[in-house]
A and B are shown apart, each in its own frame.
Chain A
Amino acid sequence: MARITRDEVLHVARLARIELSDDEVAKFQEQLANILEAVSKVSELDLSDVPPTAHPLEIANAWAEDVPRDCLPLDEVFANAPDRDGDYFRTPPA
């Protein structure tokens, strides 16, 4: 069973600026451990000859020409914004 400590959960939560209750810390500790456990299955294989994969698709150079297209109208830009100040998004002080 992969282990993840309570401090590690709190650390990751702090990086995301999320406040967790003690119950939530315990819950995520278990869930994150399960995820790590599942992913660590891969290490059961001998992959010493396999180069790291950055992307599963065997293609490269998917790009677009440098030609402008229309932007969103402001009412759509702000449609889901919780707070707005003129044409700015407004957030708690950062």
Chain B
Amino acid sequence: MTTGVGSTEPEKSGGADLRGAGAGSWEPVIGLEIHVQLKTETKMFCRCRNGFGGEPNSQTCPVCLAFPGALPVPNRRAIEETIKLGLALDCTIAERAVFHRKNYFYPDNPKAYQISQYDEPLCARGHLDVPTEHGVTRIGITRAHLEEDAAKNVHVAASGRIHGATATLVDFNRCGTPLVEIVTEPDIHDAETAKRFLQLLRQTVVELELSDAELEHGSMRFDVNVSVRPAGSDELRTRTELKNMNSFSFAAKGIEREIARQIRIYEDGGVVEQETLHFDPAHEESPPLRSKEEAQDYRYFPEPDLVPVEPGKDLVDRLRATLQVLPGARITRIAETLSFYDADVLVTGGLDRLWTSLVDAGADPKEAANVLANQFVAAGIDPGTVDAGELAKLVSARAEIPRAAFDEALAKVGERGFSADPYLEQKVVADTAELDPIIQRIIDANPAQAEQYRSGKEGLLGFFVGRVMKETGGSADPRVVNERVRALL
């Protein structure tokens, strides 16, 4: 949730471009707020299990149900993981961080306050470098702080609609589970960069093993603030908030639509109203404040039940030492060998480590990237289960073995003890002496199609090639077949 203490001054936005800005005289200003559920064993302030799937209210205790007298005790691992994320985002880690109470009254929180962080968050003033085709765009991170999640409310009504609900049912299993909130500077100026930022942040969080960060399960959620201003100006105009978007592509489309809408309003001489646009009512979080209530109505004050967190240099150094090369840097590095697009797909798809192993094992870089991004992803195999040496052999032999054999081998490449060798023995048939009689037979059997092809209907080439591939059980070399069908027709 927005705390309102972050800087609202736009910082320099490295290399932002204005694609998607519509009219060239307007510059969109976009800021993001992301929530990530940490996958700790226990909740943030009690030792109830943190996890999906329990029966309603079965993962609760006096602390997360706010029974009188119960006292919170912070989860050390959640604090460490937040610091780790802060380090990955080049944040300054606070020497002293404080938890605050954020007061609001709503059935998703039995204490009537959420324990969050306010003006002394664990991590502040960082950035994430987002690689683009035109270099790197640096997006400032205002802060990353730790807080507790709220309960799940189910609004029930005879009609099944949220409006006109007759009661609210509350499951406190999620209440008190650790949540990291990341707030960016308004450094983003087009929808595509917003999408790339979110993808890269998600991959970073997943690689740090902090969170599953799955949008469809709500373990990663984000809100987008959008405004536009005359290009070249540094004013910040009224922004609208886009909430509950459940995919990155959907977010990019929503942002583009909203930018266009605001530009239209200004160009018609109108005024943009501050408002919140909800995109996915099914994932709707209950808004604790009604629109007329202000941030000051949260009445933040230091949580008296918790002492400050002072991470100390030793802890921060130890956590820093666990960081590996981050995805953004890997995209940039791989883009020296492949196109930016391929590098981006490999890294944000979690495939680049396997790609590196394939290349090390002798596979052609481009060929390996193609196979991974297409057939491998389509086969739904976990990259971690693959013997890179065997897959590299397969990739290198792709042109020489029948398509069917390649597909069959790829489907099994994640199996324990998989060997590519039996598949490599199946050679593709490229011998014209062997193929020509088959092709001729098929042409003779389909005189009408042959006639149409000869009179200009070239699309029928595929018909003949397909018949030949079928006839040969997929073992023919499609390039040779193509060539020979043309010649013989």
Is residue A43 within 8 Å, beta carbon to beta carbon, of the partner chain? no
Docked-complex contact B169 and A71, CB < 8 angstroms: no
The chain A residue with its CB closest to the CB of B105 is A17
Is residue A86 within 8 Å, beta carbon to beta carbon, of the partner chain? yes
Task: Kindly provide the distance from the CB of B357 to the nearest chain A CB, expressed in whole angstroms.
Answer: 33
Q: 1/0 per position for B455-478, CB-CB distance to A under 8 A?
A: 000000000000000000000000
Docked-complex contact B47 and A63, CB < 8 angstroms: no
Residues of A within 8 A of B96 (CB): 60
Residues of B within 8 A of A59 (CB): 307
Docked-complex contact B168 and A87, CB < 8 angstroms: no
Which has the most chain B C-beta neighbours within 10 Å: A86, A92, A94? A94
Q: 1/0 per position for A80-94, CB-CB distance to B under 8 A?
A: 000001111111111
Docked-complex contact A55 and B169, CB < 8 angstroms: no
Residues B53-110 near A (CB distance < 8 A): 55-62, 65, 73-79, 96, 98, 103-107
Docked-complex contact B75 and A77, CB < 8 angstroms: no
Docked-complex contact B74 and A94, CB < 8 angstroms: no
* Given A55-B302, A88-B57: A64 in contact with B74 (beta carbons within 8 A): yes
Docked-complex contact A88 and B171, CB < 8 angstroms: yes
Main secondary structure of the interface of B (DSSP, over half): loop
* Given A57-B307, A62-B74, A88-B171: A67 in contact with B57 (beta carbons within 8 A): no
Docked-complex contact B154 and A71, CB < 8 angstroms: no
* Given A64-B74, A67-B42: A93 in contact with B61 (beta carbons within 8 A): no
* Given A16-B112, A67-B42, A90-B167: A61 in contact with B302 (beta carbons within 8 A): no
Residues of A within 8 A of B166 (CB): 93
Docked-complex contact A60 and B165, CB < 8 angstroms: no
* Given A85-B167, A88-B57, A88-B171: A63 in contact with B74 (beta carbons within 8 A): yes
| 16 A/B residue pairs, CB under 8 Å, sorted by A | A15-B297, A54-B120, A57-B307, A60-B310, A63-B74, A71-B48, A71-B59, A71-B61, A78-B57, A87-B57, A89-B107, A89-B170, A90-B167, A91-B168, A94-B153, A94-B168
Task: Identify which of A55, A68, A94 contacts B42 (C-beta below 8 A).
Answer: A68
The chain B residue with its CB closest to the CB of A73 is B58
Residues of B within 8 A of A66 (CB): 40-42, 75-78
The chain B residue with its CB closest to the CB of A72 is B61
Is residue B412 within 8 Å, beta carbon to beta carbon, of the partner chain? no
The chain A residue with its CB closest to the CB of B178 is A66
* Given A62-B73, A67-B42, A69-B47: A74 in contact with B58 (beta carbons within 8 A): yes
Docked-complex contact B76 and A64, CB < 8 angstroms: yes
Task: Kindly provide the distance from the CB of A61 to the nearest chain B CB, expressed in whole angstroms.
Answer: 6
The chain A residue with its CB closest to the CB of B153 is A94
Main secondary structure of the interface of A (DSSP, over half): loop
In the assembled complex, the Cα of A34 lies from the Cα of B194 at a distance in Å of 51
* Given A62-B307, A77-B60: A15 in contact with B103 (beta carbons within 8 A): yes
Residues of B within 8 A of A55 (CB): 98, 302, 304, 306-308
In the assembled complex, the Cα of A55 lies from the Cα of B97 at a distance in Å of 12
The chain A residue with its CB closest to the CB of B41 is A66
Residues of A within 8 A of B120 (CB): 54
* Given A55-B307, A62-B74, A68-B48: A92 in contact with B56 (beta carbons within 8 A): no
Is residue A65 within 8 Å, beta carbon to beta carbon, of the partner chain? yes
Is residue B3 within 8 Å, beta carbon to beta carbon, of the partner chain? no
In the assembled complex, the Cα of A7 lies from the Cα of B302 at a distance in Å of 26
Residues B26-59 near A (CB distance < 8 A): 40-42, 47-49, 55-59
Task: Identify which of B73, B167, B307 contacts A91 (C-beta below 8 A).
Answer: B167
* Given A16-B105, A77-B65: A71 in contact with B60 (beta carbons within 8 A): yes
The chain A residue with its CB closest to the CB of B172 is A89
* Given A15-B103, A93-B155: A65 in contact with B76 (beta carbons within 8 A): yes
In the assembled complex, the Cα of A36 lies from the Cα of B105 at a distance in Å of 23
Task: Kindly provide the distance from the CB of B212 to the nearest chain A CB, expressed in whole angstroms.
Answer: 17
In the assembled complex, the Cα of A91 lies from the Cα of B157 at a distance in Å of 13
Task: Identify which of A63, A71, A89 contacts B79 (C-beta below 8 A).
Answer: A63
* Given A15-B105, A89-B170, A94-B286: A65 in contact with B77 (beta carbons within 8 A): yes
Residues of A within 8 A of B77 (CB): 65-66
* Given A89-B57, A94-B153: A67 in contact with B47 (beta carbons within 8 A): yes
Which has the most chain A C-beta neighbours within 10 Å: B55, B65, B154, B293? B65
Is residue B309 within 8 Å, beta carbon to beta carbon, of the partner chain? yes
* Given A88-B56, A94-B168: A61 in contact with B42 (beta carbons within 8 A): no
A-B contacts besides A15-B299, A66-B41, A88-B57, 8 pairs, CB < 8 Å: A15-B103, A59-B307, A67-B42, A69-B61, A74-B57, A85-B169, A87-B58, A90-B170
* Given A15-B293, A88-B170, A88-B171: A63 in contact with B75 (beta carbons within 8 A): yes
